[in-house]
């Protein structure tokens, strides 16, 4: 199984650039260890021998972890992220570290210090981001599963653009220990997979309480895999009005309608529902995430690890290191966040954003009193050409307009491939659930998958 | 600089911020050891170094110690939230400090000084300590150093920052406040309170105002105070400096100043980032800290009797003034004294011994029954004050029965008739001196007492000798 995937990597990685690092030797050693466990009659685990690609903002012991930034040059973590440990314990075999927008800030994987990743369906197009490398790896068949992180849509958006399944679980169900922080109150690790079932299985492996993460929910991950065949009879599905109107390309909107019809045909009741506060999501997100990022990224100062650009004084060294080490988008967000937290502006910016978060939760809660699952597009369009939005940050930010509110609410959501757009490129539809509402969300996803079969 | 200013005209207003390192085994948010000393960068782990992907997990023992101090300081222990205090400094590995800002765990308390004065406590919150930077070359300051070395052993050590209200008025009160706070921290087992090792650090806010005015003057914060003595000196200097400025028609500028022990002055300290905007926001990696009522009450039930209560108890039981109890309680001898008194020892003599003859740290292990017996022997005239002191010292050192120790030293109660004979003999031998005594020359008393002591090898009681001399004078 491993060699098959390594061969595909050798064949197409040159044009796609899904990886910052392919860990071939480590993968072969890990695969051999799994074989030995099997030979010894031990349980090799639920993901025995399955190749997995890991987003390069997840710590891997002794293996460079760059966040696609120059500032972490040469840094090798002395520990594995909890999710990496759990995958290894389940028998999965890491094949490499995947490219991302620097520190997960971006929606196209073009903000990487090591060059962009390309969409396996059309290499002139972006794979989405920030977990573009992980999405492309699964889409190109480099690994059947991969891990990404989702702060404002960074799993779901690239999953949609690359035509794979991508899940952002409920905040707190998957440990953040070893995930290099961007927006700590929003960040969540989740899987990419070719199928809903594989994605469910990975969630169950990586999820569940981790005492080393104080925000971890003290329970097991909801048992989803064994409920995928339960169907959607009687399931109440709401189509989010605010996410389906203006700004959504007609071909994408058509696929969402098709998904709604498929769910209805399978026995679900489908109605429109308004979640008014989600329209403020983008504004609130671009205060909360940069504010937290400005603090989280303060540690990259050249003193202890990574890049150091020497200068006469400590202060000047820090400035020179950060000027050289960070890309434009990272600097832009650090400045935004620093400003949002400044004395005299806190209440107007960060304080207001926190209130909007509360409103978004309240409006979602109201919707989930009437519905089990919500449905919406993931992205306004199919994959866009490289370079199209790099000079216009606002246009890029709008790629996440449908995904961001979920992170602010801490809820689970996932992207399920549902056909193609007018250009023949993949379209994903988004299923959203309330806190720990993974079971109905996955049941609906499995039903959509079956409807295409 | 005026050596002193008119204290009748000017009043000094002092508020202290005390950082106490909590006596936990591990750091506030990680399992790295909390130990003083050790090779540089030996007590570290990913979180201490601020490595990417590391996360804080709150040390419950640190929380318990914080609650102990909060309760001992009569604070409200409340729901609290950790916040990030953002500023760049190389000894701070994340370039933010996890502290508590709007909602501290302990709020609105007070402590009572030995004088009986009550000083307010605004808050006592949990935060992590920073590392230590050594600037090599130049003047040892960051600005002109050739290079700097950072030791992160102390980074992440749990601190309780105890913010006092500006209720103190003199250097003596400030010192008493710090001593009292230290005694409380030690009593509840929260900290070793060692100023010299930096486990208790005092920053001092000082302002001056004309007596009779309500409005507070502009304050300066003084850092780098490493002993109680420095605290007093720094306040004296700073208050005088401010009075000089004001009387010269200038204004006091609000700033942080550095106490220089060598030249005995405070100097303007450059602020860390040029401004005080720490961009506080709630720490997203931690959840709110809300100790349950049950837990708080459990902790309260395990608190020992605190110094102020012990001073009041001792004063009430012995009838002495409150301020006389401070030293005895500070030495931890109040329980010993009370037990001895319960066993029949004379209260005044007991306390006198505790104050003057029991400075030895081992005195705390003294057997109260033996102590009581010794005081009894002294009261009954079997031992002189000097002899009692000798016996007591040996009791502290070796233990035993005071009667046996006295006998071993040959201390026996002298027969007064024997003393009468010695005194009469001395009067006959020294008529000139006797005449001076009879003429009222008080200084000559010592001459006779000394002679008697010599003749009796120190066994005589000086007071008894004096009274015989008075009797002979008639």
Please provide the average confidence, as pLDDT, over all residues in chain A.
96
From chain B, pick out residues whose CB is under 8 angstroms from the CB of A314: 90, 142, 148
Other CB atoms within a 10 A radius of the CB of residue A83 amount to 28
pLDDT confidence of residue A453 = 84
Tell me the shortest Cα–Cα distance from B318 to chain A, in angstroms.
53
- Give percent of chain B above pLDDT 70: 95
Record: contact B279-A338, CB cut-off 8 A: yes
Q: What is the structure's pLDDT at B273?
A: 42
pLDDT of A130 > 70? The answer is yes
In chain B, count H helices and then E strands.
15, 14
- The CA distance from A359 to the nearest CA of chain B, in Å, is 19
pLDDT, one tens digit per residue, over B205-246 is 999 999 999 999 999 999 989 999 999 999 999 999 999 999
Enumerate residues 258 to 277 of chain B having a beta carbon within 8 A of any beta carbon in chain A.
Answer: 277
Residue of A nearest to B275 (CA): A343
Residue B466 — pLDDT band, cuts 50, 70, 90?
confident
DSSP summary character for residue B289 = B
CATH superfamily placement of domain A2-281+351-452: Amidase signature (AS) domain (3.90.1300.10)
Tell me the shortest Cα–Cα distance from B128 to chain A, in angstroms: 16
CA dist A19 and A96 (Å) reads 6
Please tell me the distance in Å from A42's CA to the nearest CA on chain B. Answer: 32
Averaged pLDDT for residues B58-76: 98
Class (C level, CATH) for B416-473: mainly alpha
A294 CB neighbours in chain B (<8 A) are 86, 279
Q: Cβ separation of B285 and A214 shorter than 8 Å?
A: yes
Instruction: Give B150's contacts in chain A (Cβ within 8 Å).
Output: 303
CA atoms within 13 A on the CB side of B79: 3
Model pLDDT, residue A173? 98
pLDDT at residue B415 greater than cutoff 80: no
Q: Average pLDDT of B15-32?
A: 97
Q: Which of B46, B88, B150 sits opposite A318 (nearest CB)?
A: B88
Q: What's the rounded Cα separation, in Å, for the pair A145 and A195?
A: 9
Average pLDDT over residues A112-138: 98
Q: Which residues of A352-381 are buried (b: 16+ CB within 10 A; e: fewer)?
A: bbbebbebbbebbeebbeebbbbbbbbbbb
Q: Which of B52, B95, B139 is the best substitution to test chain A (most A C-beta atoms within 10 A)? A: B52
Q: State residue B267's pLDDT score.
A: 92
Q: Which of A69, A112, A130, A134 is catalytic?
A: A130
Question: How much is the average pLDDT of B382-392?
Answer: 89
> Which backbone phi and psi does B370 adopt, to 5 degrees?
-65, -40
Computed on alpha carbons and rounded to an integer, the radius of gyration of chain B in Å comes to 29
| pLDDT for B382 | 87
Q: B147-151, B241-245, B442-446: which has the minimum mean pLDDT?
A: B442-446
Here the tokens at position A327 are: 């890309």
Average pLDDT over residues A99-121: 98
Interface test with B, best of A76, A295, A408 (most B CBs within 10 A): A295
Chain B residue whose CA is closest to A66: B52
pLDDT in tens, B347-363: 999 999 999 999 988 99
Environment class of A337 (CB within 10 Å of its CB; exposed 0-12, middle 13-18, buried 19+): buried
Beta carbons of A299 and B50 less than 8 Å apart = yes
Q: How many CB atoms lie within 10 A of CB A435?
A: 18
Q: Is the ipTM of this complex over 0.90?
A: yes
Q: Which residue ranges make up each domain of chain B?
A: 10-301, 307-408, 416-473
Give B2's pLDDT tier (boundaries 50, 70, 90): very low
Size of interface A-B (CB pairs under 8 A): 99
H or E, element range at A209: none
A91: left (phi over 0), alpha (psi -120 to 50) or beta: left
CB of A421 closer than 8 Å to CB of A252:
yes
Q: Which of A214, A314, A346 sits opposite B55 (nearest CB)?
A: A214
Q: Is the Cβ–Cβ distance between B202 and B217 less than 8 Å?
A: no
Q: Is residue B51 within 8 angstroms of chain A, CB to CB?
A: yes
Q: Do A178 and B58 touch (CB under 8 A)?
A: no
Answer yes or no: is pLDDT of A404 > 70: yes
Cis peptide bond prior to B83, omega within 30° of 0: no
Q: Residue B451 — very low, low, confident or very high, per pLDDT cuts 50/70/90?
A: confident
- Between chains, do A211 and B284 touch, taking CB under 8 Å as contact? no
Identity of the residue in A77, A184, A338 whose CB atom sits nearest the CB atom of B285: A184
Residue from the list B55, B96, B279 with its beta carbon closest to the beta carbon of A212:
B55
Please give the residue that has the higher pLDDT: either A195 or B140: A195
Q: What are phi and psi of A117, to 5 degrees?
A: -95, 150
Helix residue ranges per DSSP H, B188-333? 228-247, 293-301, 307-318, 326-330
Q: What is the pLDDT of residues A328-349, one digit of tens each?
A: 999 999 999 999 999 888 889 9
Highest mean pLDDT among A21-25, B413-417, B419-423: A21-25
Q: Which helix (H) or strand (E) holds B403?
A: helix B402-408
pLDDT band at A35 (very low <50, low <70, confident <90, very high): very high
- Full-model pTM: 0.90
Q: Which residue of A has its CA nearest to B59?
A: A214
Smallest Cβ–Cβ distance between A185 and the set B86, B96, B284 belongs to: B284
Specify the pLDDT at position B461.
Answer: 76
Residue B1 has pLDDT above 50, yes or no: no
A55 is catalytic: yes
Q: Does the pLDDT value for residue A207 go beyond 70?
A: yes
* Tokens encoding A117: 């990743």
Q: How far is the alpha carbon of A5 from chain B, nearest alpha carbon, in Å?
A: 29
- B436 burial via Cβ count (<10 Å: 0-12, 13-18, 19+): middle
A59–B94: do the CB atoms touch at under 8 Å? no
> Does residue A430 sit in helix, strand or coil?
strand
Q: Quick one: pLDDT band at residue A295, thresholds 50, 70, 90?
A: very high
Backbone angles phi, psi at A275, to 5 degrees: -125, 80
* In chain A, where the domains are located: 2-281+351-452
Q: Over range B249-268, report the average pLDDT.
A: 92
CA distance A285 to A152: 8
Exactly one of A112, A134, A154, A399 is catalytic; name it. A154
The rounded mean pLDDT for chain B is: 91
- Grouping H, G, I as helix, E, B as strand and the rest as coil, residue A91 is coil
Using a CB-CB cut-off of 8 Å, the residues of chain B touching A303 are 90, 93, 150
Give the chain B residue nearest A67 (alpha carbons). Answer: B52
Tell whether B94 lies on the interface with A, counting CB pairs under 8 A. yes
Q: Which of A81, A292, A304 sits opposite B53 (nearest CB)?
A: A81
From B53, B56, B86, residue closest to A77, measured CB to CB: B53
* Residue B275 pLDDT > 60: no
Q: pLDDT tens digits for A159-168?
A: 999 999 999 9
Phi/psi for B371 (5° steps) reads -60, -45
Contact A314/B94, CB-based, under 8 Å?
no
The reply to whether A154 belongs to the active site is: yes
Whether the per-residue pLDDT at B272 is higher than 60: the answer is: no
CA B352/CA B346 separation, integer angstroms: 10
Least confident of B368-372, B397-401, B407-411: B407-411
Share of chain A above pLDDT 70, in %: 100
């Amino acid at each position: 199984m491993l060699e098959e995937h390594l061969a595909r990597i050798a064949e197409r990685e040159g044009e796609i650039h899904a990886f910052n690092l392919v860990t071939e030797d480590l993968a072969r050693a890990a695969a051999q260890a799994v074989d030995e466990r099997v030979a010894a009659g031990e349980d090799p685990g639920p993901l025995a021998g399955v190749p997995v690609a890991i987003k390069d903002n997840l710590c891997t012991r002794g293996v460079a972890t760059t966040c696609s930034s120059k500032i972490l040059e040469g840094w090798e973590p002395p520990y594995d992220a909890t999710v990496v440990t759990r995958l290894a314990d389940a028998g999965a075999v890491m094949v490499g570290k995947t490219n991302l927008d620097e520190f997960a800030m971006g929606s196209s994987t073009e903000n990487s210090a090591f060059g962009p990743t390309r969409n396996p369906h059309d290499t002139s197009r972006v794979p989405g981001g920030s977990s573009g490398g992980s999405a492309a790896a699964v889409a190109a068949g480099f690994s059947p599963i991969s891990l990404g992180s989702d702060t404002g849509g960074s799993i779901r958006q690239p999953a949609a653009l690359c035509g794979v399944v991508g899940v952002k679980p409920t905040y707190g169900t998957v440990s953040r220990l070893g995930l290099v922080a961007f927006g700590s109150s929003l960040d969540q690790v989740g899987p990419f997979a070719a199928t809903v079932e594989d994605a469910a299985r990975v969630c169950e492996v990586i999820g569940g309480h981790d005492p080393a993460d104080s925000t971890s929910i003290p329970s097991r991950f909801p048992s989803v895999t064994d409920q995928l065949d339960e169907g959607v009879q009687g399931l109440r599905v709401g189509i989010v009005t605010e996410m389906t109107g203006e700004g959504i390309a007609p071909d994408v909107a058509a696929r969402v309608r098709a998904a709604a019809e498929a769910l209805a045909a399978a026995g679900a009741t489908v109605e429109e529902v308004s979640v008014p506060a989600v329209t403020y999501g983008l504004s609130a997100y671009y205060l909360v995430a940069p504010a937290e990022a400005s603090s989280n990224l303060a540690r990259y100062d050249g003193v202890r690890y990574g890049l150091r650009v020497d200068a006469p004084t400590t202060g000047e060294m820090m400035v020179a290191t950060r000027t050289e080490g960070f890309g434009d988008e990272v600097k832009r967000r650090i400045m935004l966040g620093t400003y949002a937290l400044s004395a005299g502006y806190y209440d107007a910016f960060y304080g207001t954003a926190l209130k909007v978060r509360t409103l978004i939760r309240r409006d979602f809660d109201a919707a989930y009193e009437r519905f089990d699952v919500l449905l919406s597009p993931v992205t306004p369009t199919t994959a866009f050409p490289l370079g199209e939005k790099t000079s216009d940050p606002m246009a890029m930010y709008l790629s996440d307009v449908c995904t961001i509110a979920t992170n602010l609410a801490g809820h689970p959501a996932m992207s399920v491939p549902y056909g193609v757009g007018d250009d023949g490129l993949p379209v994903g539809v988004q299923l959203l659930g309330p806190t720990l509402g993974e079971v109905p969300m996955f049941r609906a996803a499995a039903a959509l998958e079956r409807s295409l079969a | 600089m005026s050596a002193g200013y008119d204290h009748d005209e000017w009043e000094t207003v002092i508020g202290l911020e005390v950082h106490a390192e909590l006596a936990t085994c591990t750091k506030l948010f990680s399992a790295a050891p909390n130990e003083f000393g050790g090779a540089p960068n030996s007590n570290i782990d990913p979180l201490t170094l601020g490595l990417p992907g590391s996360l804080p997990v709150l040390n419950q023992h640190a929380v318990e110690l914080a609650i102990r101090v909060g309760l001992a300081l009569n604070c409200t222990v409340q729901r609290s939230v950790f916040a990030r205090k953002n500023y760049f400094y190389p000894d701070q590995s994340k370039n933010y400090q996890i502290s508590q800002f709007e909602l501290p765990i302990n709020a609105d308390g007070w402590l009572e000084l030995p004088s009986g004065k009550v000083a307010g406590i605004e808050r006592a919150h949990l935060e992590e300590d920073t590392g230590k930077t050594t600037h090599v070359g130049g003047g040892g300051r960051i600005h002109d150093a050739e290079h700097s070395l950072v030791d992160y052993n102390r980074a992440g050590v749990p601190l309780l920052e105890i913010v006092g209200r500006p209720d103190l008025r003199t250097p003596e009160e400030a010192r008493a406040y710090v001593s009292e706070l230290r005694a409380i921290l030690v009593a509840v087992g929260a900290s070793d309170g060692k100023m010299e090792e930096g486990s208790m650090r005092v920053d001092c806010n000082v302002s001056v105002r004309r007596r009779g005015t309500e409005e507070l003057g502009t304050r300066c914060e003084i850092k780098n105070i490493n002993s109680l003595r420095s605290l007093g000196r720094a306040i004296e200097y700073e208050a005088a400096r401010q009075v000089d400025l004001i009387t010269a028609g200038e204004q006091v500028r609000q700033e942080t100043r550095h106490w220089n022990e060598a030249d005995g002055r405070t100097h303007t300290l450059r602020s860390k980032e040029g401004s005080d905007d720490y961009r506080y926001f709630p720490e997203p990696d931690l959840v709110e800290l809300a100790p349950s009522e049950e837990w708080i009450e459990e902790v309260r039930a395990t608190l020992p009797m605190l110094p102020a209560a012990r001073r009041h108890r001792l004063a009430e039981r012995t009838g002495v003034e409150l301020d006389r109890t401070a030293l005895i309680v500070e030495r931890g001898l109040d329980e010993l004294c009370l037990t001895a008194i319960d066993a029949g020892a004379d209260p005044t003599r007991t306390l006198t011994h505790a104050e003057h003859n029991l400075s030895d740290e081992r005195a705390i292990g003294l057997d109260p029954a033996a102590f009581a017996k010794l005081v009894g022997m002294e009261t009954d005239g079997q031992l002189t004050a000097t002899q009692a002191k000798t016996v007591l010292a040996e009791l502290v050192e070796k233990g035993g029965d005071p009667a046996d120790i006295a006998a071993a030293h040959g201390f026996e109660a002298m027969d007064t008739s024997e003393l009468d004979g010695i005194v009469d003999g001395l009067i006959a031998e020294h008529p000139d001196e006797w005449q001076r005594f009879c003429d009222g020359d008080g200084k000559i008393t010592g001459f006779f007492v000394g002679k008697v002591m010599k003749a009796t090898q120190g066994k005589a009681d000086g007071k008894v000798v004096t009274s015989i001399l008075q009797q002979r004078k008639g």
